[in-house]
Structure formats: structure tokens, C-alpha cells
Chain A
Amino acid sequence: MSLLGEDYTTEEGEFVINIGPQHPSTHGVLHLKVWLDGETIKKVQPHLGYIHRSIEKMSESLSYRNFIYATSRMDYLSAHINNQACALCVEKGLQIEAPPRAQMIRIILAELTRLASHQLWWGCTGLDLGAVSPFFYAFREREAILEIMEETCGARLTQNFCVPGGIMADIHPNFQKRTKDVLKQIKSKFQEYDDVLTGNVIFENRNKNVGFLTAEDAISFGCTGPMARGSGVSCDVRKWFPYDGYDKVQFDEVLGKEGDCFSRYMVRMNEMKQSVSIIEQLIDNIPEGDFQAKTKMVLKLPKGEFYQRVETARGELGVFIVSDGAASPYRIKYRSPNFSNLSALDHVARGYKIGDLVAIMSTIDLIIPDVDR
């Protein structure tokens, strides 16, 4: 037992190495302690909390308008979707609904966020496995999306555009035109993505038959998002519990079969195409009208409990608000997708080689601020 109460006990022939907290392949300050027998992984123990900012505790002293902005810093690549979840949960408590125009703009932005997030993931996955070029290809398209965000929301990453009752401001006059241009650009690049990375022999060999997760285990570990869908578990919140008008949009839930790294990779690649199709259906049909419902200056939720879930780029984000009737939440819980996905890492990685751990980590697509909160 060391100072931190950590366990370094090993069996005959085993040794322990530390990966992180500042290792680039862990995508943030995640510290993994890996028990190895030669090159084979015996056990992985994640150590969390390096960027724990106690967002749940903070939210207990913030008003229902203000706590939303803290959530942008959880999963910073799905910041808009996090805000949307909170806004929807407060709306559920107030029993109001955002106007149709606001709802549609919200889901267009959510799908743009998903595209940007998956593109960053695609670039980083390539980078993790030794392919540097995809990173630049991905950032080219991601940059175009972030510019749309900047123009309409005023910020590139932490948009804070959703407020209880709608969106903060109306869209920029250029929004529709620019979005259509970007979609055209992205659609023409999908083939390029596949040529650069998907069909690459080295990349395929490192991802296929590595990091298997069965459907049963995915459910037991509470995995959601592309990680669970890669194993064939249907869990898309947009289909199961539609919100903000997702029930009026035509799209397919992308499911994988094998449950290995490559299957998770393909789910995300195909999800990008679905996102493009969703935006194409909506972008020309944004209804006229208000972008925000009328709400009181000080929001007070009635006594009770409210649960709202949304599909972020990484899975199901749940916001659970317990209200005692005051102007700030009594207790708030964020059920973050990455937290549950990470808990499956030990199970998934056991028995594979240390080099495969990088492939497994990158296809789980962890965002550590979302795990630590």
C-alpha cells in the first residue's frame, strides 16, 4: 500500500505499468494502471478524478438558467447536446415546450455537433494508430462546422445556445446557406475518409478481432451510444424516446454486429451519414415563428423529480433533477455516457496485447471531463 492507498500487488511474472495521466493516447487526463503478463493485459484499473470539478455540487447552488452553462464543460465535444438535455429537463418540469422553430434549430445544431465530434474522433483514432493524415482531413471539415457554430451561437466549442424554453437568439442570416455548403463538402469527402483510413490494411488489422464486447455485457455495463450499437444493442435515444421532434425525421439507427473495435468504428462512420441526412431534411423546412417560449424571470420547478435523456455523440446523457420547489435544484445527477462506457474498459481489454489497448480506448471514444464531471 502506497501513500494513495493504491494497490500494486502482482502475481509471479506480472508487472504493473501506469499509462497517463498525461499520455496522449488517453485523450485527456485519464490514468490507467495496467497489470501485464509480458505483453498481455491482465487487468486495467482506471483512476479518475484528475479534472473532477464537482459540477453536480455547483449546480445545486445555481439557478435553473445558470446551471446549463456548467454542463458545456462536461462533454465539451457535445456541448450543445448537453445544454439541450438540461433545457429539456427544465422545460419538462415547467411543463412548457419550445416553439417548433427553436426545436428544429436545436436538432440541426445537435446533428452538426455530432458530425463535428465524430470527425474529431475519426482524426484522433487515426492518430492513435499511427496515421497522421486523417487528423488534418478531419479538422478541415470540423473547422467549417465550428465556423457555422461561431457565427450563429457566438462560440465555437461551448455554445451555450439552449435556454429553458427555446434558444438564446435567432439564427444568423447565413446559417442555412453555409450549412448546405458544408454538407455538400462533407458528403463529397466520405469516400476520401474511407480511402484514407477505413480500407487501410494496417488499420483494419489493428481494429478487427480486437476488443470484443458482447451485447449482453454491453447492457450489463450500461454502455450506450456507438459503443453499445457496435455490439448490436439498439439504444438510440432519438428512436426510443424521441425529443425535440426527432420522431418526425427519417433516419436509421446504425447497428453493428461483431462488437469489436472495427464494428464500433463503422457505426460512427455510418452515423455521420445519417446526421447529414437528418440535417438535409430539416435545413430548408425551418418553420417561421418565435425562437423562445415566454418564461418567467426566475424559474422555479414544482416539487418532484424529472428525468430527461438525450443522445449525445457518445451515448445516452441523462439529467435527473430533484426539485424541492426552490429556485435552484435540490439535487442534480448527470448520467454521463462516458462514465458507464469507461467502466467496461477493464472487461473489454483483458486478454489483449498492450498495443491493442490504444485501439480499444480510441474506439470507446472517451472524453474525460465527462467521466469526472
Chain B
Amino acid sequence: MTNEELKQYISALFPTVTYDETGEFLNILIASTELKPLIKTLRYEDDLKFNFLFCLTCIDWKTNLMMVYHLISKTHKHIVVIKAKIADVVKPEIETVCDIYQTANFHEREVYDLFGVNFKNHPDMRRLLLDESWEGYPLRKNYVDENMITI
């Protein structure tokens, strides 16, 4: 499907989503609560079949956190990027997608580790790279490392 067709298809099912086409891929901007139904549709609808989650990460925009999901369909060869905005930066929460894409298990743990986003219903929500006793979330923009020496 082309980007235009994808937009029409998705807008028919989710009228509230907005799009951003300034970048390389079609970006779908949503609120964090809409994520699960949207991803389920993208994954399981026969015409869409986005079966490969090739990148999952988070961006800290200081006023909000943004989860970014890069999806590609191995059968139809189209790509979309979903951007879910999490407004609450103090206690960020979003629904997990690791029951749909198993690769999300590790990627979400990494995001939890470095950004502090809590994934609801994740089977194993522990830190992945850092020690359990680590305080703070290093990739957040407001993170201050007390041990850092500036030369």
C-alpha cells in the first residue's frame, strides 16, 4: 500500500489519529492510550500485516515522552512509524506490545531501564542493562550524574 492508501485505511478505523509525512516514513501520531488497539489492527489485518517491529525506542522531549515504534510488513513491504505521546513525565506508563511482537520484551525492558517508562502487563519488568540498585534513568534529559567530571 502507498502512504495515501495507508492513511485512508487507518483513518477509517481510527478517526482521531494524525499524520506527519515530513520525514522518510509515514508517521502516525497518537495518544498513549490508543496504542494497543492501533498496533493490534496493524499487525493482524490482512491488508496491513505489519509483522516486523524493527525498532522500538523512546525520545525525551522534556515536556513529554514519546514512544517510537518502527513497523514493516514483510509481506506487503510497507513501513509506518507510530509515535505515542506520554504526557505524564513523572510516572510515565504505556501498554506493552510484547504479546504481539516478542522482540518488544527486551526492547521495552531497555526503555524502562534508561527512560523509566513503565510498561503495563509486561511479563518481566526489570532493569536490563543497569544494576537493580541504580537510581535514575540515564537517557532522560533531566538526569544528573553526580560522579561526572568535566575537564
Say whether B15 faces chain A, with CB atoms less than 8 Å apart.
no
From A54, A221, A322, give the contact of B59 (CB < 8 A): A322
**CA–CA, A251 and B37, complex, Å:** 41
Q: Tell whether, in the assembled complex, residue A335 and residue B105 are in contact, meaning their CB atoms are under 8 Å apart.
A: no
The answer to whether A5 and B126 have CB atoms under 8 Å apart is: yes
Which B-chain residue is minimally distant from A220 (CB atoms)? B102
Interface residues of A in 304-345 (CB under 8 A from B): 304-307, 309, 316, 318, 320, 322, 330-331, 333, 335, 339-340, 342-344
Give 13 A-B contacts (CB < 8 Å), ordered by A residue: A49-B130, A220-B101, A221-B102, A221-B103, A222-B101, A222-B103, A222-B107, A240-B77, A304-B23, A305-B24, A309-B54, A343-B103, A343-B106
**A-B residue pair count with CB separations less than 8 angstroms:** 85
Interface string of A84-99 (1 = CB under 8 A from B): 0000000010000000
Closest chain-A Cβ to B58's Cβ sits at a distance in Å of 8
Which of A52, A220, A320 makes the CB contact (< 8 A) with B51?
A: A220
Give the dominant DSSP class at B's interface: loop
Of the candidates B52, B128, B132, the one whose C-beta lies within 8 Å of that of A48 is: B128
When chains A and B are docked, how far (Å) is the Cα of A112 from the Cα of B126? 39
A5-B126, A52-B129, A220-B103 known; A304 vs B22 contact (CB < 8 Å)? yes
Given known contacts A318-B54, A340-B103, A372 and B129 CB-to-CB distance under 8 angstroms: yes
Within 8 Å by CB of B52, from A219, A309, A342, lies A219
Query: What is the CA–CA distance of A221 and B98 in the complex, to the nearest angstrom?
Result: 10
Would you call A217 an interface residue if the criterion is a C-beta within 8 Å of the partner chain's C-beta atoms?
A: yes
A304–B132 Cα distance when bound, in Å, is 34
Q: Say yes or no for B39: interface residue by CB 8 A criterion.
A: no
Whether the Cβ atoms of A306 and B103 lie closer than 8 Å is: no
> A57-B138, A305-B23, A343-B102 in contact; A331/B130 too (CB < 8 A)?
no
B52 close to A307 (CB less than 8 A): no
Inter-chain contact A52/B130, CB cutoff 8 Å: yes
In the complex, whether A201 has a CB less than 8 A from a CB of chain B is: no
Interface centre among A335, A342, A347 (most CB of B within 10 A): A335
Q: What are the residues of chain A within 8 A of B128 when measuring CB–CB?
A: 48-49
Give residues of chain A (30-69) contacting chain B, Cβ–Cβ below 8 Å: 48-49, 52, 54, 56-57
For residue B31, CB closer than 8 A to chain A, the reply is no
B129–A49 touching, CB < 8 Å: yes
Asked if A233 lies at the interface with its beta carbon under 8 angstroms from chain B, I say: yes
Contacts of A306 in B (CB 8 A): 23-24
Known: A54-B138, A339-B110. 5 other contacts (CB 8 A): A48-B129, A52-B130, A219-B51, A240-B77, A318-B70
Nearest-neighbor residue (CB-CB) of A234 within chain B: B74
Q: How far is the CB of B126 from chain A (nearest CB, A)?
A: 7
| Interface range on chain A (Cβ under 8 Å from partner) | 35 or more
Bound-complex Cα distance A335 to B52 (A): 13
Rounded to whole angstroms, the CA-CA distance of A339 and B53 in the bound complex is: 13
Q: How long is the Cα–Cα vector from A235 to B74 in the complex, in angstroms?
A: 9
Interface size grouping (class) on chain B: 20 to 34
- B85 CB to nearest chain A CB (Å): 14
Q: How far is the CA of A335 from the CA of B77 in the complex (A)?
A: 19
A4 at the interface (CB under 8 A from B): yes
What's the nearest-Cβ distance from chain A to residue B147, in Å? 13
How far, in angstroms, from A224 to B24 measured CA to CA in the complex? 22
Our pick among B25, B52, B53, B55 for the contact of A333 (Cβ within 8 Å) is B55
Contact B106 A4, beta carbon cutoff 8 Å: no
Residue B60 is within 8 A (CB to CB) of chain A in the complex: yes
Decide if B129 touches A217 in the complex (CB within 8 Å).
no
Evaluate contact between A219 and B70: CB separation under 8 angstroms.
no
Q: Is the CB of B138 within 8 A of A222?
A: no
Q: Among A52, A217, A372, which residue has its beta carbon within 8 angstroms of that of B102?
A: A217
Determine if B87 is an interface residue (Cβ-Cβ < 8 Å).
Answer: no
Cβ proximity bits B68-108 to A, threshold 8 Å, 1 near / 0 not: 10100010010000000000000000000000011101110
Q: Contact between A320 and B74 (Cβ–Cβ < 8 Å)?
A: no
- Chain A residues whose CB sits within 8 angstroms of the CB of B139 once the complex forms: 56-57, 331
Bound: A219/B50 CA distance, A: 11
A372: chain B residues within 8 A (beta carbon) = 129
Of all chain A residues, the one with the shortest Cβ separation from B27 is A305
> Top 8 A-B pairs ranked by shortest CB distance?
A222-B103, A49-B129, A343-B106, A5-B132, A333-B57, A52-B129, A335-B55, A220-B102
Distance in angstroms from B18 CB to nearest chain A CB is 16
Our pick among B22, B55, B114 for the contact of A320 (Cβ within 8 Å) is B55
Contact of B24 with A222 in the complex, beta carbons under 8 Å: no
Q: A333-B55, A340-B106 are in contact. Are A4 and B24 (CB under 8 A)?
A: no
